[in-house]
Every structure is written in C-alpha cells, then in structure tokens.
C-alpha cells in the first residue's frame, strides 16, 4: 500500500522511487492525493502497474499552480530521469506545435517538434484545445489544407471553408494578410481579431441569430485561451534557479527549483538552523559544489559580496532578481506553495489538534488503537503511531487478543492498551502525547481505566465512526468538529490507518487458519 497521507490534493507531478532513490515512474495529476491513492486499488491494476507498485519505496512530488503546468512538468521530468516504467507505459514525446508552412499560400498544420522550415508556435499541453484552435483558424480565415495547390477547386471551397487560391479566387497578397493575422493570434496578439469578432457577435445578437452568436463567443474564448501562458513553455535562452524559504522556530525551510530554459526540471529541499547570515552561507556552500545558472530568482536580496563571488566563480555576469510582481514573482509564489506542502503539512495537523482539543502540548506522537474480528473469531488489535503528522510504521504493533474469547470490544481494547503501555513503562520508552481509541464512550472508559492502573496521565480521546463524534474524559457530551476541520481530518486519517492495519492482520490470521 502506498502511503498518501502527506500528499496534497493540489495539481502537480508525483515521482515514484525505488530503494536506491532512483526515479522509476513520473506521473501527473489534477489531484495528487487522489491519483496516487488509486494505485492502492491493486485489484484494478494491470500486471505491469502492479509490478511497478511493488518496487516503490518512496514518493516525491512537485505542486503546480494548475493541471496544464503539470502536463509540461511531467514531460520534462520524464525526459530528465528516463524512468523505467514510463518507457513501458507511456510515450515521452514532446507536446505538439502549430506550424505555419514556408510556402506560397501557407498552410497551418500540427508538428511534433519545432525543427525545419516554417514558423512554430507552442508546444500545447492540451491536444483538444490545440485541435480546436487549428480548426478555428482554418475556418475563420478559410485557409487551404491541400498538400499541393490543385488546378481545380475541392469540396472545402464549395462548402465555404477555403478561399480557393487554386482558382485565383483570392490573391496571394490577400491570403498573406490572413496569415499575418494568424501570426498575431498565435503570438498572443489577438486583441484586434477579438474586437472584430465581438462586433460581428453583437450584430448577430441584434438580428436574433443567437446560435451563430454563441459559436462566435466560443471562438473568442478559444482565441483568448491562446494568451494563457500556462499553455506554452516559457521560452528562455538561459537556465534559472528559483530560491524561496520560510523561517519557523529557529529553522530555515528552503526550496530551490531548477528551471532549464524555461521549464521546471527539479527541486532540492533543505532544512538548517537559522542565523543572521544563513542565506549567504547557503549560497556559498551550495554553489561551490553545483553549477551556477545564468539567472537566480530569489525572495531576498543578496549582498554585493555574494553576487561578486557567484560571478567570479561562473566567469561571467549573472542576473540576480528579487521581483515584487509579474511572472517571476509568480514563480517565487509557486516555490513558497511547495514549501508549505513539503514541510508544514504535518505541523498544521498537530497544531490544529492541540487547539481543537485544548491540549497542553502539541501532540507530536500519537498512538491509535482498534479491534478487528469476524463474528467473534480471529480477534486482533492494532496500534499505529504517527509522528509529526506522518505515519511511523516501524512503531506499528499488532496483537492477538488473549483474555477475550467472545465479542467484547471493550475488554479487547483494555487488553491491548494495558499490554502496550506496560511494556513502554518497563522498557522506559517514550510515551505518546495523545492516545486515540476507535470507538465510543465505552471503549474510551475501558482504555482510561488501564491508564489509571499504570498511574499514567496521557491525553486520550475516542472517535465514534457513525457520527464522527469525539469523546473525551472531561466532557459528558461528545465534541462535534466541522467536517472541513484539519483536526478532525487528521483524527480520521489516524483512525482509518489503525482500522486498515487491524483488518489486514485479521485477514492474515484467517488465511493461516484455512491452510492445513
């Protein structure tokens, strides 16, 4: 099972890595957590994908602002890492371009790359949108589609989709005027054309041609979409590094994104102690061992001495930008977004839990207990541990229930709680900051009884699955948290993991009982 607990729900790319840390698969997703979670449905996967999942040891991800950026990033990462399973499972070709041919009465075509004669625009990450734009431009300007100009008109001319340059129905100069307009549109300079279409749409509305007006409105939307920057790569002739950071509790959380000629290719994560000169120290240490790009986009200005150091080491001038607005500021914001998703998700969970449960300390270590059985047979218990918002699987424990021979969840919970904390007490290990029991008030009371016998004062709650209510020893009535509350989602996440772990152990014991 892949652990998806700390994977965000944002769009972006996920990277599956094997035990050596090598990237073996790169995928994209509109919702990263949902997409990666689908791999846990092992029965619905083909044999190749099952084999892939069995070789996944860790998961990394890069958050993007939208799904279109994820398309481009996925393509770049595949080409960089050449993952084993991407080669088998999908094509790693570039996204297609739109091409204006270099000939008399040029044609507009789809091209796989931007090599050869002609003018290229793109690449486009959405094939559906690209095809519609191609159709729109051909239809709007009535361009020819024939490989060679024939000596007589074709069907497209008769249905008013071609101006008929083959029979001199339009001069070369007039035809090229349309081509120049297309160049403006594909270059993002479509305002003049949109104004013309708007005028025509208003006329159609005035004469009650609503269906035609609707089509023109869709054409305007398609043309406007050409101006969206995320549909094309940022065309740059040089490489960039983008650096942003956050300081929290005397620690610096820093991300560095590598952008190769306009396309994000990789990221590096760093955590280190804060001091007044931390940025200068980081820059010197990092770029002493790594290539210096032509441009560094950074959220805080560097000292003149550091800039001089970088330029001397590179042997040429470099660009240092600390933007306050515009495209480069958006890139810094994207890195900041990834900092939050990479470093602070677990912290947000534990802080929210402390606040909503009125705990005296932040519950960094949480342990959760659950019971599983089938009609009273193969009764087992589970204990899972979460540390700073993440599952700590090496500290998971499973229990065969010894003292209970019939269906009695209360006594079963009491037994595994007693066994767990008696062992911790004897072995002088670290106790959790919070205990969660899967069940209602009854299970909570039985667990609390065992803690009192051991003279332990550990915060403890239970969660009843039917209404997702939280029971505590101090409250007569259950606490009801909002469904969107981070604290409740975290409790549910931990409870669900304990439930999964218990069920899997129960199934394992029943399989063993069936085997003679």
Q: What is the DSSP string of 26-64?
A: EEEESSHHHHHHGGG-GGGS-HHHHHHHHT--EEEEEE-
Q: pLDDT by residue (tens digit) across 164-214? A: 888 888 888 888 888 887 887 777 667 777 888 888 889 989 998 888 788
pLDDT (mean) for 114-123: 81
219 and 268 in a common domain:
no
Torsion angles phi and psi, residue 19, rounded to 5: -65, -25
Average pLDDT, the chain: 83
Residues 356 and 481: beta-carbon distance below 8 Å:
yes
Q: pLDDT tens digits for 345-354?
A: 788 889 999 9
Q: How far apart are CA 304 and CA 301, in angstroms?
A: 9
Both 394 and 482 in one domain: the answer is yes
Same structural domain for residues 23 and 128?
no
Q: Per the domain annotation, does 5 fall within a domain? A: no
Does residue 91 carry a pLDDT above 70?
Answer: no
One domain, residues 432 and 319:
no
The pLDDT assigned to 3 comes to 76
Residues 442 and 496 in one domain: yes
Residue 325 belongs to a domain: yes
β-strand 97-100 against 119-121: which pairing, if any?
Answer: antiparallel
- Please report the DSSP string for 267-306 in residue order: EEEEEEE--TTHHHHHHHHHHHHSPPPSEEEESSPPPHHH
Local structure of residue 431 (DSSP, 8 states): P
How many domains is the chain built from? 4
Q: Which of 231, 259, 279 is the last residue of a domain?
A: 231
Q: Do residues 399 and 505 share a domain? A: yes
Residue 426 shares a structural domain with residue 448: yes
Tell whether 469 is covered by a domain: yes
Do 477 and 378 share a structural domain? yes
Q: Which CATH number belongs to the domain containing residue 487 in this structure?
A: 3.30.420.340
Stretch among 81-90, 132-141, 142-151, 429-438 having the lowest mean pLDDT: 81-90
Give SS3 for 12.
strand
Of 30, 46, 43, 31, the closest CA to residue 85 belongs to: 46
CATH at 282: 3.30.420.10
Strands 434-438 and 460-464: parallel
Please state the φ and ψ torsions of residue 470, each to the nearest 5 degrees: -100, 125
Q: Are 86 and 78 in contact (CB under 8 A)?
A: yes
pTM of model > 0.75: no
Query: Can you spell out the DSSP letters for 222-274?
Result: HHHHTT-GGGS----SS-EEEEEEEEETTEEEEEEEEEETTEEEEEEEEEEE-
Q: Is residue 47 part of a domain?
A: yes
| Residue 148 placed within a domain | yes
Q: Which domain, by its residues, includes 132?
A: 97-231
**Residue 202: inside a domain:** yes
Domain boundary among 65, 89, 113: 89
Pairing between strand 434-438 and 365-374? parallel
Instruction: Verify that 475 and 433 share a domain, yes or no.
Output: yes
Please tell me whether residues 34 and 72 are part of one structural domain. Answer: yes
Confidence bin at 481 (pLDDT 50/70/90): very high
CA atoms of 128 and 317, how far apart (whole Å): 43
Cβ 411 vs Cβ 371: under 8 Å? no
CATH number, domain of 30, equals: 3.40.1440.10
Same domain assignment for residues 385 and 460: yes
Residue 6 in any domain: the answer is no
Q: Supply the pLDDT for residue 446.
A: 96
Of 172, 207, 231, the residue that ends a domain is 231
Half-sphere exposure of residue 299: CA atoms within 13 angstroms, side-chain side: 17
pLDDT computed for residue 460 by the predictor: 96
Domain assignment present for residue 143? The answer is yes
- Does 500 lie in the same domain as 371? yes
């Amino acid at each position: 099972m892949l652990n998806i607990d700390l994977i965000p729900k944002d769009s972006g790319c996920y990277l599956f890595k094997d035990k050596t840390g090598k990237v073996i698969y790169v995928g994209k997703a509109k919702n990263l957590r949902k997409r990666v979670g689908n791999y846990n449905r092992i029965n619905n996967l083909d044999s190749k994908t099952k084999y892939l999942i069995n070789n996944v040891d860790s998961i990394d991800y890069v958050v993007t602002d939208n799904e279109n950026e994820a398309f481009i990033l996925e393509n770049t990462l595949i080409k960089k890492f050449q993952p084993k399973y991407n080669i088998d499972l999908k094509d790693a070709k570039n996204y297609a371009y739109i091409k204006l041919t270099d000939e008399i009465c040029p044609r507009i075509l789809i091209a796989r790359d931007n090599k050869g004669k002609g003018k290229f625009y793109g690449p486009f990450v959405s094939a559906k949108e690209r095809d519609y734009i191609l159709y729109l431009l051909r239809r709007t300007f009535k361009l020819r589609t024939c490989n060679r100009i024939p000596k007589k008109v074709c069907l497209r001319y008769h249905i008013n989709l071609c101006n008929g340059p083959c029979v001199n129905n339009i001069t070369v100069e007039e035809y090229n005027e349309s081509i120049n307009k297309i160049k403006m549109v594909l270059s993002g300079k479509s305002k003049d054309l949109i104004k013309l279409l708007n005028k025509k749409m208003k006329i159609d509305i005035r004469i009650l041609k609503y269906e035609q007006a609707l089509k023109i409105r869709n054409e305007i939307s398609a043309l406007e979409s050409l101006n969206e920057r995320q549909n094309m790569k940022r065309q740059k002739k040089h490489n960039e590094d983008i650096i942003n950071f956050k300081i929290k509790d005397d620690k610096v959380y820093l991300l560095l994104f590598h952008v190769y000629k306009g396309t994000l290719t990789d990221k590096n994560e760093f955590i280190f102690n804060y001091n007044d000169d931390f940025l200068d120290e980081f820059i010197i240490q990092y770029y002493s061992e790594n290539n210096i790009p032509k441009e560094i986009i950074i959220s805080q200005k560097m000292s003149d001495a550091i800039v001089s150091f970088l330029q001397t080491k590179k042997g040429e001038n470099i660009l240092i930008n600390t933007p306050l607005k515009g495209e480069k500021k958006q890139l810094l914001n994207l890195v900041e977004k990834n900092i939050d998703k990479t470093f602070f998700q677990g912290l947000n969970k534990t802080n929210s839990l402390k606040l909503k449960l009125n705990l005296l300390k932040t519950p960094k270590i949480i342990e959760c207990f659950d019971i599983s059985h089938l009609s009273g047979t193969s009764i087992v218990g589970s204990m899972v541990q979460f540390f700073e918002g993440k599952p700590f699987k090496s500290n998971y424990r499973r229990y065969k229930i010894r003292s209970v021979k019939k269906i009695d969840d209360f006594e079963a919970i009491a037994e595994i709680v007693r066994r767990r904390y008696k062992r911790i007490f004897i072995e002088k290990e670290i106790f959790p900051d919070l205990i969660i029991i899967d069940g209602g008030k009854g299970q909570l009371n039985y667990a609390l009884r065992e803690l009192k016998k051991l003279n332990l004062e550990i915060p403890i709650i239970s969660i009843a699955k039917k209404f997702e209510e939280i029971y505590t020893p101090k409250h007569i009535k259950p606490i009801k948290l909002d469904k969107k509350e981070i604290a409740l989602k975290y409790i549910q996440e931990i409870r669900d993991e304990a439930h999964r772990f218990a069920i899997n152990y129960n199934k394992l014991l029943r399989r063993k009982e069936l085997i003679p």
